[in-house]
Every structure is written in structure tokens, then in C-alpha cells.
Amino acid sequence: MEEPSLARSTQGGFETRPAVASRTIALSGLALFAVGFVKGRLAAQSPVRSGMQFFGIAVSAALLGYGIGLAVQHFFPDIPVAS
């Protein structure tokens, strides 16, 4: 019997299950907050505020990068997208 996989292979690459993607996003957010929390404790600042600040900056940077990628793809459709 084959063991269940977290992702299944498709012709174009891997397709993840929505539950796995949701858990990955949640764990990434928690990790970002934890790094900021530790930074706050080491810098003798409010750990919760520092965690939220670090999380917010990191998520903003990720969304900005995603948006730039969409804009490049829109304005330069001939550029191949890596898969």
C-alpha cells in the first residue's frame, strides 16, 4: 500500500492540498512572530510589539514582491515563468 503524500505530482509540477498550504502559511507567520518576539526580548523592548512589527514588515515585503512579480508578468508576457 502506498503511503499518502502531502503533495501530488501533476504534469506541470506539484499541486499541494489546501490544508497543507494553510498550515504552511500559519507556521510561517508564527515563525516570523517568534523571531520578532525574541528580538524584542533581546533588545529590551516589548516582545509582543516587536513580534507584530517583524511579522508586519515581513508580510508586507512578501506581498510587495508578489505584486512586483505580477506586474512584470503583466507588462512583459514574453518572459518565461520558471516552474
* Burial class of residue 68, CB neighbours in 10 A (0-12, 13-18, 19+): exposed
Q: Check: CB of residue 55 under 8 Å from CB of residue 29.
A: yes
List the chain domain ranges: 17-75
pLDDT in tens, 50-79: 999 999 999 999 999 999 999 998 998 888
Q: How far apart are the first and last CA of the chain?
A: 30
Average pLDDT, the chain: 85
Q: What is the DSSP string of 9-56?
A: EETTEEEE-HHHHHHHHHHHHHHHHHHHHHHHHHTTS-HHHHHHHHHH
Q: What's this model's pTM, rounded to 2 decimal places?
A: 0.69
